[in-house]
Amino acid sequence: MQAKHVTVLNTLQRVQRFMDTNADTLGSVNTSGYRHVLDDTVIALKDHAVNQSASQQMGQGETARQRALRSALRQNHMRPIATIAAAELRQVPEFIALRMPAPNLTTQRLIAAAGAMRVAAQSYEHTFVAGGLAADFLDQLQAAADALTQSLTDRGASTTTQAAATAGLAATASRGRATVRVLDSLVQPQLAGNAALLTQWKTAKRFVGKTSPVPASTFEAAAIGTNAVQADASATPSAPSNAPVAAPPAAPSDPVPAAAA
């Protein structure tokens, strides 16, 4: 969930709280169709956020599982077949399909290479079993490739779900902003003459990341139509200086009479 979507969700929830707290003052606005749209939009945003987060985590888990399955297919199933083929079957026409594929193959190509290796190894199954592989080594190879295929499918499904949730967040956030604009046009007339509530409303509907509490002096200033309330009281006297005070100059002393000759 991007920061801009979090901001929208936080704002919509602040608007909900304001409207619930001041239901009597807002009257029919609080039961209007757009109030229901507001509530539905909050629910939808939360649902999209959950789906996005869940699909992202599932995708990350499936990616890690896919790496493990790729390694298991290559090292536990394909490598033993390729090693025995290199020692025993270099002259057969199918040998090219029995070699280890490049390590940087995409997952789809690795699965295809495993399928080609399985087909090629069927004609020489007795050679591989005699070389030490299990009697069902071909079935094991196919099962490992199928598991990797399923992981690839699951990863794709997670990506699709995440993309849908992300698009849903964007569309729902846009609808939320539009809903607040409509509600603003309905709420402000209901708060005419109530400067304190009007200030609270303007703060609640503001789309910002964080909203600081509005100080009480703001409400007082709005109530009397000036921003100079308590201006004098807010002045802070300067602290006394700790610098040393210079001593006053000493008074001149009387001249000393000269000694007699």
Task: Give the model confidence (pLDDT) of 32-49 as tens digits.
Answer: 999 999 999 999 999 998
Look at phi and psi of residue 233 and say left if phi exceeds 0, alpha if psi is from -120 to 50, else beta.
alpha
Number of domains forming the structure of the chain: 1
Residue 83 lies in a domain: yes
- pLDDT per residue as tens digits for the range 193-203: 889 999 999 99
Position 171 in a domain: yes
Residue 39 lies in a domain: yes
Report yes or no on 213 lying in a domain: no
End-to-end CA distance of the chain: 107
Task: Find the domain containing 165 and state its range.
Answer: 3-204
Residue 132 resides in a domain: yes
Q: Is residue 117 part of a domain?
A: yes
Residue 249 forms part of a structural domain:
no
**Over the stretch 184-223, which tens digit does the pLDDT of each residue have?**
999 999 998 889 999 999 999 998 865 444 443 333 333 3
- pLDDT-derived band at 240, boundaries 50, 70, 90: very low
pTM comes to 0.58
Phi, psi (deg, nearest 5) at residue 41: -70, -40
Structural domain contains residue 260: no
What mean pLDDT is predicted for residues 238-250?
A: 44
Contact 39, 12 (CB under 8 A): no
